[in-house]
Every structure is written in structure tokens, then in C-alpha cells.
Structure 1
Amino acid sequence: MPDIVTITLNPALDVSTSADAVAPTDKVRCGAVRHDPGGGGINVARVVQTLGGRALAVFPAGGPTGAMIEDLLDGMDIPARKIPIGGVTRESFTIDERKSGLQYRFVMPGPELSPKERRACLDEIARAAEGARMAVLSGSLPPGVSPDFVQETADLATRVGARFVLDTSGEALRHVRSGAYLIKPSLRELREWLGRELRSEAEQVDGAYGLIARGVSEVMLVSLGAEGALLVTSQGYERLPAIDVPVCSAVGAGDSMVAAVCFGLVQGLDLRSAVRLGMAAGAATLMTPGTGLCRREDVERLYAQQTASATIAPLKAIPRS
């Protein structure tokens, strides 16, 4: 049984290509096309595999795109459990404009899940998570799935003894009330969740710590984009600077971060070292074009650079408001 089970409620067949320029009305002549199995949890499973671990990917899928995702995962030797659905799994389309270096990303909503299909997802998650050390729910919810599904999954993970990790947004994020080990919102998502601007670092720490104090999660890892990340626990907090790398594509960077944190924890790293491994994986994914994810050698090199010359200072005290 793999240590890490990933859950992707709204998977996608990721299609990526490039063009000299993207312009309205005119035909846009594209280069070679790449297909990848996508969606948050599936990306997490791919990165865990890249780093030398094993993750089981659980996801609903249907139609030819769903079958293609299954085939791609099989070709990558990633264990997967597909829940058949009547709808057709979505595609996501990414195009890199060579002239400007800009990237355009088109994300479809996904098929609606019926009540019976939602129940089948929960049943399969329960079976898959039995004996796992971590259960990771990552990505958006498809149409027809109540945001309460997130709390149901957290409760399920708690019952089987798996640490629950969450990386989602919007109503799904705001509906989790308890049971998470780690939640990774972006700063924008944290602002929307709390309904506050959180302009200063102290306000951001206070907002994240407030959720910990309410029992929502034990750890909050807030991604700050080009400003790095903020790790907050009940013991204190740490601001981690971004790793300076050449950026080719941002697709999957957050998923890579989550994957490497989970991989590091199951490999025996302490939380702060695991977060540094996550930062390295996120940065390494920025270096790959289109929908490609990180390379192991890049992750290991960037992680070594973070840890070789610096002593990890004690966590800073939580500012009391």
C-alpha cells in the first residue's frame, strides 16, 4: 500500500503547445502538442513518483479523455483507481507564446457528478486511504459536488488514521472546519477565506494562526508566489524566501510543492525540512515548459542549496493581536 493517497475530484487531460503569437480572429499555428494527466491530486502523485516514492491516485473519470488519463498514468507506472462516471472528463489547454514569453491557460469546468457517483468517490477514497499515512485532496471540485465533500473527506481520513492534506480554493476551502493536518492556500485564497486584506506579514500570520487555533488544521503553509511562502504552526512561524530560478511555466508548481512536502514527511524529514523540499520542487517545476512537472535532479540540487549553507533558525513567535 502506498504511503500517500491522492484525491482528484476534477481531473483533466492537460494539453499544452506553443505558438509564435496568440492573436484574435487569426488562426494560431501551434507547435508540437504534449498530453499529460492533470488535476491537483494527479499532479501530486506524479511528483511523488518522480522523487522516488509511491502514491495511489484516486479520481473519477469518463469518456475518451478519462481513458487517456488512465493510460498515461499506467505508462508512468503510477498506481491509480478510477471511479467510472457518465460524463466526459475535461481538458485543460495551455499555450506558450514564444514572441512574448507569456503563457495562456484555458481551464474547463469539468463534468457534473451525480449523487451516486459522489458516493462512489467517497467509498473508493475510504478503501484507498485505509493504511495510508497521508491523504491529499488537491484541486477544484466539479459541478454538482457540494463543498461539504471536503469535510467529509477530512473526517474519513481521520477515521482511518491518515493525515489529511488539503489544497483547494473558493467555497471548498471555506467549508473545511476540522481534521486537516496541513492546508496550503495561496495568499489570495487565505484573504478570500477570512474576508480580510492581510496586508502585512503579521496580519497574514495572525490569520493563518487563527485557523489553527480554531482546530481547522495543525499546519498552514501559505504560498506567496514570487515572495516565497509562510509556514505557520501552533509553535510559531517562518517566512521562506522564493528560490530564484528561470521561469518557463507555473503549471503544477503548487501541486509539486504539496507533493514534496508529503514525500519528505513520509521519508522521515521534520516539517520544516519537508517544506524546504516542497519549495525546491515548486521552483523546479517553474523551470519546465508547458504542463511538465519537476525533474528529480533539479529538486535535489535546489534543496541542497537551501540546506547546505544555512542553519535553520528557531520559529518566530506568533504575534498576539
Structure 2
Amino acid sequence: MAKIVTFTLNPALDKSSALERLMPEEKLRCDPPTWEPGGGGINVSRALKNLGGDSLCIYIGGGHTGQKMEELLRQEGIQQHRIEGKRPTRENFVVYEKSSGKQYRFGMPGEAVSQQELDACLEVIRQLPQEVKYLVASGSLPPGAPDDFYGQIAQMARERNIRCVIDTSGPALQKVTEVGGCLLKPNLSELSQLAGKDHINALEQEEIARELISQGKASMLAVSLGPRGAMLATKEHIEYVVPPTVKQNSTVGAGDSMVAGMVLALSLGKSQRDMIRWGVAAGTAATMTPGSELCRRQDVDDIYNWIREKAEQQELPPSV
């Protein structure tokens, strides 16, 4: 049994294609389509696989799209537990315009989930074996799910002594902080919302992060700063990790890759400092890949080594 479990309540089957130019009211000839399983926790499991880690991927999947997702995950060699959904899993559509190099992403809303389906999810998590040490709940909530659903999962994880990592936004994130004790990965906008502010500046972010942790709303905060890397806030200290400048091809999957890098480092017994470095390395590596492709192991290793060497150089005493 894998030590890491990911959970996705609102997965999506991503269908993508390419064409020369996107034009209105024209019949457009597209390249043959490709399909990929998607959604927060599912992407974390896929990124973990790329990094050499294992996980159990739990998700709701219904209809032919849910079956297709199960097949694709099986082909990638990912352990999975599909909870049968009453309605087909949503599809997203991605178009790459060759003439401009731009990507257009059409995200569809998820189908409403029933209380019966929500109860089935909670029961699967309740029955997780003792070997599980980390639970990653990631992604948006579909219609029908209460705002506190991730909070319920976080509470359940705490009772089972499972370390919980939550990556979501809006009211769902706010409700998780009412339970507390989780590693959260907000961006600056989400950190602002947690603080009850419309906007915060760089001078405020450390104080706000410390206050949230002192109030018990999170055990750690890994605040994503985009191309500037991330800020790790714990009870003991604040640390920044700045990645090298790389050629960005797509930011799709960067956040999920960052979560994968962090939780894998934790599962291997790495320090908090190494955790945030691996996370930033994996998130940055994902921006180097085209389309919706996630991080590649070699890129992650190279970026992590660069981050570590730069940090060591800064810690050396000046030469006499």
C-alpha cells in the first residue's frame, strides 16, 4: 500500500488538439486528439509517478469518461480506486494554436454530486489502512459538495494521524483553516482571502502567514509566488526559494507538480527546507514542458541541484 493517497472530487478528462489558426464561424481542421486524466489530485499522482514515487489515486469517475480515465491511469501504472459516479465525468477541451503558440483552455463545470457519492468518498478515506501517512486533497469542489467537505477530510485525517495536504481555493480553503493542522499551498491572492483582505503586499505576507499558523489554521504554508518561487512559513521560520529563470512553455500543472514534489520529499523523510526546494523545483520544471504535460524527473533534479548550490554559496563565509 502506498504511503501517499491523493483524492480528487472533481476530476476531468482533458481532450486536446492543435490547429493552425483559431477563427470564428469557420470549419476548423484539427490534429488527431489526445486524452489525459486530469484534476488536482489525479495530476499530483501522475507527477509523483514521474518523480519516481507511488501513490493511491482516489477519485469519482462516472460514465464513459470515467471509464476512459480509469483506463488512462492504468496505462500510466498508477494505483487507483475509482468511486463510481452517477453522472459522466466532465471533459475539458484544450486547443493549441500553432501560428501564435498560444493555448486555449475550455474548462467545463463538473456534474453535481449526490450525498450518497460524498458519503462513499468519506467511507473510502475512513477505511484507509495504517500504512497511509499522507493524504493530498486537491482541486475544486463540484456542485452539490458542501464548502466544508475538504474540512471533513482534514478532520478525518487528523483523527487517523495522517498528515493532510490541501490545495484548493475560495470557501473550501477557508473552511479547511477552521479545522487546521494541514499543509496548505495558497497563492498570494488566496493568502489575501484567508487574511480577509482584498490585496496584500510583499511586506505583509510574512506577518499574515505567521499569524495564520499561530492561530492554528495551518501547520505549514507553502505560498506560491509564481516565477519568483515560493515562501515557506512554519511555526519556527520563514524561508524563500527562488528558482532559476527557465523558458516557460506552459504553466498548466505547475501547482500540482509543486504539491507532488513537496509530499514526496516529506514521505522520504526530507527536511522542511528540502521539501519546499523539491516543490519549487517540480513546479518550475512543469512550466518547461509543453501543453498539459507535467514535470519531468531530469528537469526537477537539475533545478533542485541549482537551488541547493545557490543556497550553499550564499551560506559560505566571504573569502579573505
- The question of a shared fold, defined as TM-score above 0.5 by the shorter chain, is answered with yes
Supply the distance in 1 between the matched residues of 2:210 and 2:285 (Cα, whole angstroms). Answer: 29
Residue in 1 that maps onto 2:100: 100
Deviation at 1:130, TM superposition (A): 4.0
Q: Percent identity?
A: 43
Residue in 2 that maps onto 1:286: 287
Deviation at 1:24, TM superposition (A): 2.4
Q: Which residues of 2 match residues 289-304 of structure 1 at below 5 A?
A: 289-304=290-305
Say if 1:250 and 1:286, in contact at 8 Å, map to a contact too: yes
Supply the distance in 2 between the matched residues of 1:33 and 1:2 (Cα, whole angstroms). Answer: 33
Residue in 1 that maps onto 2:269: 268
Deviation at 1:312, TM superposition (A): 8.4
Say if 2:192 and 2:200, in contact at 8 Å, map to a contact too: no
Say if 1:131 and 1:161, in contact at 8 Å, map to a contact too: no
Residue-by-residue CA offset, 1:180-200 (whole Å, 9 max, x unaligned): 331001112222332314442
Residue-by-residue CA offset, 1:23-64 (whole Å, 9 max, x unaligned): 322233322422111100011111111111110000011001
- Root mean square deviation, CA, Å: 1.7
Q: Which residues of 2 match residues 209-288 of structure 1 at below 5 A?
A: 209-288=210-289
1:27 matched to 2:27: yes
Normalising by structure 2, report the TM-score. 0.93
Q: Is the alpha carbon distance of 1:198 and 1:237 closer, same or farther for their aligned partners in structure 2, counting shifts above 3 Å? A: farther
Say if 1:228 and 1:243, in contact at 8 Å, map to a contact too: no
Residue in 2 that maps onto 1:71: 71
Supply the distance in 1 between the matched residues of 2:130 and 2:187 (Cα, whole angstroms). Answer: 29
Q: Is the alpha carbon distance of 1:16 and 1:153 closer, same or farther for their aligned partners in structure 2, counting shifts above 3 Å? A: same
Secondary structure, aligned partner of 2:219: strand
Supply the distance in 1 between the matched residues of 2:129 and 2:11 (Cα, whole angstroms). Answer: 19
Residue in 2 that maps onto 1:308: 309
Secondary structure, aligned partner of 2:25: coil
Q: Is the alpha carbon distance of 1:91 and 1:163 closer, same or farther for their aligned partners in structure 2, counting shifts above 3 Å? A: same
Residue-by-residue CA offset, 1:84-117 (whole Å, 9 max, x unaligned): 1111100112222222222211111111111111
Supply the distance in 1 between the matched residues of 2:32 and 2:250 (Cα, whole angstroms). Answer: 16
Pairs aligned (count): 314
Residue-by-residue CA offset, 1:163-209 (whole Å, 9 max, x unaligned): 01000011111111124331001112222332314442221112222
Residue in 1 that maps onto 2:116: 116
Q: Is the alpha carbon distance of 1:66 and 1:283 closer, same or farther for their aligned partners in structure 2, counting shifts above 3 Å? A: same
1:138 matched to 2:138: yes
Supply the distance in 2 between the matched residues of 1:38 and 1:180 (Cα, whole angstroms). Answer: 27
Residue in 2 that maps onto 1:318: none
Say if 1:198 and 1:207, in contact at 8 Å, map to a contact too: no
Secondary structure, aligned partner of 2:204: helix
Say if 2:241 and 2:307, in contact at 8 Å, map to a contact too: no
Say if 1:15 and 1:291, in contact at 8 Å, map to a contact too: no
Residue-by-residue CA offset, 1:115-173 (whole Å, 9 max, x unaligned): 11110010012223643111000000111000111110001111111101000011111
Residue in 1 that maps onto 2:82: 82
Say if 1:198 and 1:204, in contact at 8 Å, map to a contact too: no
Structure 2 unmatched runs, 5+: 316-320
Say if 2:154 and 2:182, in contact at 8 Å, map to a contact too: no
Say if 1:56 and 1:78, in contact at 8 Å, map to a contact too: yes
Secondary structure, aligned partner of 2:231: strand
Say if 2:242 and 2:307, in contact at 8 Å, map to a contact too: no
Structure 1 unmatched runs, 5+: 315-321
Q: Is the alpha carbon distance of 1:30 and 1:160 closer, same or farther for their aligned partners in structure 2, counting shifts above 3 Å? A: same
Deviation at 1:245, TM superposition (A): 1.5
Q: Is the alpha carbon distance of 1:199 and 1:127 closer, same or farther for their aligned partners in structure 2, counting shifts above 3 Å? A: same
Q: Which residues of 2 match residues 166-185 of structure 1 at below 5 A?
A: 166-176=166-176, 177-185=178-186
Supply the distance in 1 between the matched residues of 2:255 and 2:129 (Cα, whole angstroms). Answer: 22
Q: Which moved more, 1:161-170 or 1:298-307?
A: 298-307
Supply the distance in 1 between the matched residues of 2:125 and 2:106 (Cα, whole angstroms). Answer: 29
Q: Which moved more, 1:95-104 or 1:280-289?
A: 95-104
Q: Is the alpha carbon distance of 1:189 and 1:27 closer, same or farther for their aligned partners in structure 2, counting shifts above 3 Å? A: farther
Q: Is the alpha carbon distance of 1:203 and 1:129 closer, same or farther for their aligned partners in structure 2, counting shifts above 3 Å? A: farther
